[in-house]
């Protein structure tokens, strides 16, 4: 009986760790981090009605979405230190709104507007939503990919881990109790 409970508890803790571990596939609210050296950017397309441009760490704005050919590339001058956060900004010219990669708290509406993903080509893909309030959430209004950049997933608070482990522990305990009574 004790061995069964120990195995259940161990599998519960293992499951909690697997769920809580940062994934390779990123999502909304994650941060871009430089891997060191120059950062190159490639325009991947746009499906927006509004006009917009992008910039990286206060660089000049580039890639007007309605006037840039897909595949156009640029390299930002200078070298970015490995581990330094990168702020990519979408400037929606039509509305005068600015949206940042990273946490929603960086944006006027408090929502994340950039979906980040690691592409099969090893590049980091960034897709923006250009409407205040989240728009249609299709994240295809201004899309580009970056080289020499990685994704740093948002890290949950310790209390989130504690709650997850406690909840899974209760489930494991109830499962063990049910088996001993049945």
Both 142 and 168 in one domain: the answer is no
Taking Cα atoms as reference points, which of 144, 116, 148, 141 lies closest to residue 35?
A: 148
Both 110 and 96 in one domain: the answer is yes
pLDDT of residue 158: 66
List the beta bridge partners of residue 143.
45, 127
pTM of the prediction? Answer: 0.71
Both 13 and 58 in one domain: the answer is no
- Distance CA(91)–CA(13), nearest Å, equals 44
Both 122 and 45 in one domain: the answer is yes
Q: CATH no. for residue 142?
A: 2.60.120
Residue range of the domain that includes 10? 2-22+157-181
Both 72 and 114 in one domain: the answer is yes
* Span 64-108, pLDDT tens digits: 999 999 999 999 877 899 999 999 999 999 999 999 999 999 999
Taking Cα atoms as reference points, which of 142, 158, 154 lies closest to residue 47?
A: 142
Both 82 and 12 in one domain: the answer is no
Question: How many domains in the chain?
Answer: 2
Both 161 and 145 in one domain: the answer is no
């Amino acid at each position: 009986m004790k061995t069964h409970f120990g195995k259940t508890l161990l599998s519960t803790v293992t499951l909690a760790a697997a769920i809580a571990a940062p994934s390779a596939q990123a999502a909304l609210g994650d941060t871009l981090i430089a891997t060191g050296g120059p950062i190159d950017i490639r325009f991947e397309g746009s499906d927006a009605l509004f006009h917009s441009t992008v910039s990286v760490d206060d660089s000049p704005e580039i890639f007007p979405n309605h006037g840039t050919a897909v595949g156009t590339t640029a390299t930002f001058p200078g070298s970015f230190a490995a581990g330094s956060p990168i702020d990519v900004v979408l400037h929606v010219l039509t509305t005068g709104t600015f949206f940042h990669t990273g946490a929603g708290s960086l944006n006027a509406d408090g929502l994340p507007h950039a979906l980040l993903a690691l592409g099969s080509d090893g590049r980091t893909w960034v897709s923006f939503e250009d409407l205040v309030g989240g728009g249609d959430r299709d994240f295809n209004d201004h899309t580009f990919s970056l080289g020499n950049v990685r994704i740093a997933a948002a890290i949950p608070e310790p209390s989130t881990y504690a709650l997850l482990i406690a909840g899974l522990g209760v489930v494991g305990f109830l499962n063990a109790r049910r088996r001993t009574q049945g």
